[in-house]
Amino acid sequence: MQGPTQPDITTREGFAAAAAPLERLLLSVSYGVLHSWDLAADAAQSALLKGWRYRHSVKDAGSFKPWLVKIALNESKNMARRGITVELPEDVAEKSTDRELRLDVREAVYRLPEKYRLPVMLFYFEDMAVADIARALDIPAGTVISHLHRGRARLREELKDYGK
Amino acid sequence: MENKMDMVKEERELRDDPLFTLLRDNRPQPPRESRDRVRRTLDRIETPPFAWVGAFARRSPLGFAAACLLLVLLLSGTAYAVAGWLHRDDYRPGDYLDTPPEQRTEASAIPEIEQVVQRADPKTEGCEIVMLPEMPDAEMWNKRRVKNGQPEYSEADWGWLRQLRPEIQEVLYDGTTFAYTIRFHTDHGGVLSWKHHEEKWLEAYVDEERIADTGEELNGNYGSSGTLDETLDDSGITFHSEHSLEKPLPTGGRISITSEIGIYDVKVDNGLLGMLNYTFSFDVDGALAATHANTKTAQRPLSGSAVLTMSYDTMWNQPVNLDGVVLEETASFRSTGVYLSYRVKEAPADWTTQMRRSLLDPTNERGKFQGMSVSYTLGGDDMVYEPSFPEVVVQEDGTFAYTVVLPIFPSDYETLKQRGVTVRLTLHTVDSFDGEPVGEAWKQTTFPEDGWDITTSAKPLTSFPLDLP
């Protein structure tokens, strides 16, 4: 089933090899829900441990990434449901002139409604393919495209001062 | 409309948008500490040394028999009755369903767990399969097939999947563990396995699971990830799924469980062929009644001094005074084992949240990680079967709850009462990092990119007799 060059995620080494490049992605998607890097690290750590425990439910390396992202999102949403979250993104609260553009861009994304925010983050920040986003979010690929279009329209409005 | 949408073109247009560059260039960067924490988690995963026995046993009847024999040989002279299905390490109640009912002998079956399984009384409620041509984004999936060198979906190749007949076999639910097996009957058993070198290959796995009663979703998300193993024979395939629930299922009779199962062609990366919604019901109240849950709480005060290894943004050792720290223990005596749960009920004013959490970091007797382990002795003999690896969850009130399951069953109680069960709590502290001994004042702020090794030393926290019902 798995090609010879793909890691066998049922082994510790294979799982670590497949998961290590996703460290940033897991943190980022969790941050998009929880708005705190500390909490995002909690969620990402929990997702990795759950992923390891349930690794046998993934049977090909191509499914691994969206599957693990889905777990991270579920962990983050569960934490958010328990009230474990903060009001604003930490770096947005620390806004300064030097970082104005960067922070405005991020703030615009984080202010999007969740249904647009998550596809936009995964697509634009994390460079995930539409098909993988669809699997991670459990929505049809057409819906991902549709949300990206709508999210993009809102961002254009928010970021018009930057000439985009 | 989505049917006609050219997904690839759409995706390319979205990526060509200047907004993509703006967002990409200004994406957030996780701080180094957070990345380090996530990286360290990968060092916390381990393959239990005897896991291959269970995996081997699940693959074939011969493997099962050999594994049983091997376990008996390994455990000869053990302290109490050997149940053939038990794995020596990392006990999990759901493992019980990995042994097919026909292979459960008098020696290997646990009567109390059998009762829980029997009382669950699962029934098929319905099944709906949607194959690729009926999906709104069929064109995109077909393009993916072609891109991977496979022909587009055709009924001649894949139409037989519409005849899959899933049937729930067994359910085990004890209030926390939720495991079940589903049998997929098919006349095409040979092509259901990724191991078979047939023209058509297929794999299926539970992609999402939701809990529903009379069609309405209840209680939100129960976690969509679960273990899933398959057992293949000539007439079909059996899936074993196991979930550890953070909150109990709703009670009140029978409830319906819907498993959404993606069916994939393994020749194609992410090659979706169809989605199958299978719904079964089972008697929650019946299963819980058979678990004979009997709960006791106790206070476990700690005393003296210890060194806590803190692992948050950095790692360091911190000497602490344990006087005034009280753990609250909740023991739930179930047919599937004794669930022991601990939380820090009291601690001196200078104990931070991080200290409370570090005390309850999960590890086991092998002490590969820092934190607390739970073990037990039977009449002074060390345990033969390990408890489950601990799970720590954040509760509604923000406190941390640490839970392990001891493989001790009601039918053992009378015997074990005479011999005495003693529970030990042990704290494991890092005493070397990458081969270098560390002391009580150790602090690690930088970590090698390619990982690191730690060793720990163990300090007994407390021990006490387990008050069996």
Interval B329-353 mean pLDDT: 94
- Measured CA to CA in angstroms, residue A21 lies from A2, A15, A17 at distances of 19, 11, 7
Domain regions of chain B by residue span: 51-109, 118-290, 292-465
Interval B423-434 mean pLDDT: 94
| Closest alpha carbon to B98 in B226, B230, B207 | B230
Q: How confident is the model at residue B225 (pLDDT cuts 50, 70, 90)?
A: very low
Q: State in Å, rounded, how far the first CA of chain A is from the last one.
A: 45
Residues in chain B: 469
Q: Angle A100-110/B18-25 helices, nearest 10 degrees? A: 110
Interval B149-171 mean pLDDT: 87
Give the domains, in start order, of chain A with CATH numbers.
8-87 (1.10.1740), 89-164 (1.10.10.10)
* Cβ–Cβ gap B220/A81 under 8 Å: yes
Nearest C-alpha of chain A: how many angstroms from B265?
10
Average pLDDT, chain B: 76
User: Which runs of E-coded beta strand occur in B132-235?
Assistant: 165-173, 177-185, 203-213, 216-217, 227-233
With tokens 């794999």, the residue in question is B203
Residues on chain B touching A35 (C-beta within 8 angstroms): none
Interval B234-262 mean pLDDT: 75
Choice between B33 and B158, residue whose per-residue pLDDT is larger: B158
User: Of the given ranges (A115-124, B140-149, B316-325, B391-400), which has the lowest mean pLDDT?
Assistant: B391-400
B346 touches chain A (CB under 8 A): no
Cβ contact B371:B378 at 8 Å? no
**Residue B222 in this model has a pLDDT that exceeds 80:** no
Choice between A82 and B343, residue whose per-residue pLDDT is larger: B343
Count how many Cα atoms sit within 13 Å of the Cα of residue A3 in the half-sphere of its side chain.
7
**Residue B389 in this model has a pLDDT that exceeds 90:** no
Interface test with B, best of A12, A22, A23, A64 (most B CBs within 10 A): A23
Cβ contact B411:B110 at 8 Å? yes
pLDDT at B181: 86
Q: How confident is the model at residue B82 (pLDDT cuts 50, 70, 90)?
A: very low
Choice between B220 and B441, residue whose per-residue pLDDT is larger: B441
Chain segment B263-317, per-residue pLDDT in tens = 777 666 557 788 888 889 999 999 998 887 789 999 999 999 999 998 765 789 9
Interface test with B, best of A39, A57, A125 (most B CBs within 10 A): A57
Got the DSSP string for A11-34? SHHHHHHHHGGGHHHHHHHHHHHH
| Residues forming a β-bridge with B338 | B333, B406
User: Of the given ranges (A15-24, B81-90, B234-243, B383-392), which has the lowest mean pLDDT?
Assistant: B81-90
Residues on chain A touching B246 (C-beta within 8 angstroms): 78
* Cβ–Cβ gap B30/A27 under 8 Å: yes
pLDDT at B133: 92
Pure H helices in B30-161:
32-42, 51-59, 61-74, 111-120, 138-147, 155-158
**Residue B226 in this model has a pLDDT that exceeds 60:** no
Chain segment A137-153, per-residue pLDDT in tens = 877 777 788 788 888 87
Question: Which residue type is seen at B65?
Answer: A
B405-B410-B412 Cα angle (round to 5): 95
| Residues forming a β-bridge with B465 | B422
The phi, psi pair for B142, rounded to 5°, reads -65, -40
* Cβ–Cβ gap A78/B246 under 8 Å: yes
Cβ contact B93:B116 at 8 Å? no
B30 touches chain A (CB under 8 A): yes
What's the CA gap between A34 and A109, in Å, rounded?
A: 14
User: Of the given ranges (B165-169, B188-192, B261-265, B455-459), which has the lowest mean pLDDT?
Assistant: B188-192
**Residue A35 in this model has a pLDDT that exceeds 70:** yes
**Residue A133 in this model has a pLDDT that exceeds 80:** yes
Reported CATH class of domain B118-290: mainly beta
pLDDT at B415: 85
Residues 237-296 of B with CB under 8 A from A: 241, 246, 264, 266, 269-270
* Cβ–Cβ gap A102/B26 under 8 Å: yes
**Residue B168 in this model has a pLDDT that exceeds 90:** yes
Chain segment B197-218, per-residue pLDDT in tens = 344 455 555 555 565 654 444 4
pLDDT at B67: 38
| Closest alpha carbon to B376 in B428, B426, B423, B329 | B423
Question: Which residue type is seen at A132?
Answer: D
